[in-house]
Amino acid sequence: MGRIFLGKPSHWIGLLVVLGLLAATGSARLQVTAFNLHTAVLAACAAALVGLVVLTVRRGERVTRDPIPEPRDPG
């Protein structure tokens, strides 16, 4: 399963928590009744997931399936 689900279990748990939170905002119809609140929740969830990955991944640790190439020198 490690070859299919890359990343740490905490990343997947965080994603499931965020999906549950966004499902709750959808069932409360916040996207229609309180759009600003819905947008703030969405932005906070995105920031939390990015922060979770940044804080829990060590330098040099593989995060993506394919290697990310180094940027070329524009010189």
Instruction: Enter the tokens of residue 59.
Output: 């330098």
Question: Would you kindly state where each structural domain of the chain is located, as residue ranges?
Answer: 9-56
Q: What is the rounded distance in angstroms from the CA atom of residue 5 to the CA atom of residue 50?
A: 17
Whose tokens are 């804080």? That residue is 55
pLDDT in tens, the chain (75 residues): 667 777 788 999 999 999 999 999 999 998 899 999 999 999 999 999 999 988 998 887 777 778 778 888 776
Structural contact between residues 25 and 33, judged by C-beta atoms closer than 8 angstroms: no
Q: What is the rounded distance in angstroms from the CA atom of residue 61 to the CA atom of residue 11?
A: 14
pTM higher than 0.85 for the full model? no
Q: What is the rounded distance in angstroms from the CA atom of residue 49 to the CA atom of residue 70?
A: 24
